[in-house]
Amino acid sequence: MVTIILTIYVMGKRNQKQYFDSPTTDPLAKVSYQDLHNGTDGFSARNLVGLGSFGSVYKGNLASEYKVVAIKVLNLQKKGAHKSFVAE
């Protein structure tokens, strides 16, 4: 079973310090599966950014947040996937 875990990386010209120092931005904001599905056009291949040993990364547009994000889809059937994600 594939479990989706969202990791938000701001893409574009913002640097990481500006992103995390913003008082109105919650770096651990909850996002629904429906928002992820819509933001990636159903996890379509054209939004696939990369493949790794533990899953895939998609580019997504979160309309509710007005942000472009990276969405990591982990394959938790792979031994070590959870540990690798937490280490990131």
- Residue 17 sits in a domain whose CATH number is 3.30.200
Rounded Cα distance, 27 and 49, in Å: 21
Which domain covers residue 72, as residue numbers? 2-87
Q: How many Å separate Cα 68 from the centre of its chain? A: 9
Residue 29: C-alpha distances to residues 6, 24, 32 (Å)? 10, 11, 10
Q: Is 72 annotated as a binding residue?
A: yes
| CA-wise closest residue to 30 among 6, 2, 57 | 6
In sequence order, the β-bridge partners of residue 5 are 72
Of 24-28, 65-69, 77-81, 84-88, the range with the lowest mean pLDDT is: 24-28
Categorize the per-residue pLDDT at 26 as very low, low, confident or very high, splitting at 50, 70 and 90: low
* Structural domain count, the chain: 1
